[in-house]
Amino acid sequence: MDILNLEGTEDTPKIILDKGNGIYEISGRSLPEDSAEFYQPVLDWISEYSGSPNPSTEFMFKLEYFNTASSKLILDVLSALEDIDGVTIIWYFHEDDEDMEEAGEEFSELVEIPFEFKTY
């Protein structure tokens, strides 16, 4: 399976989806001009991955900021992961960023996936 590796910019998050090395991470700032277009390769990759996932998948979100349009796509990513056995979400937030902590808690209530919350 191909690795999805997108370099982050001021407006788009860094994304690494690497089944072979067990790295699944979305980090940085997410306010792309077209969120649906930006996240489509991620959703496509998860769809392919769901056909033969690793026994466990720790999917990391380490976002500093995301806009409203991105939040819908983040939920789409989480919903796609919901269908895969062995997935855990690791939601990182800066220790004094209550908004990002609350966002993670809200996402965790919308999907049936275990969440772990960690500060950095």
Domain coordinates of the chain in residue numbers? 27-53+67-120
Provide the pLDDT for residue 100: 98
Q: Could you tell me the pLDDT band of residue 36, with boundaries at 50, 70 and 90?
A: very high
| Whole-number percent of the chain with pLDDT over 90 | 100
Using pLDDT thresholds of 50, 70 and 90, give the confidence band for residue 103. Answer: very high
Cβ 81 vs Cβ 57: under 8 Å: yes
For 86-98, what is the mean pLDDT? 97
pLDDT band per the 50, 70, 90 thresholds, residue 12: very high
Averaged pLDDT for residues 28-45: 98
Question: For residue 64, what are the contacts with CB-CB under 8 A and spacing of at least 6?
Answer: 28, 29, 94, 97, 100
Confidence at residue 56, expressed as pLDDT on a 0 to 100 scale: 98
Q: What percent of the chain has pLDDT over 70?
A: 100
User: Is-above-0.95 flag for pTM?
Assistant: yes
Residue 84 token pair: 């895969």
- What SS3 state is found at 108? helix
**Per-residue pLDDT band at 111 (split at 50, 70, 90):** very high
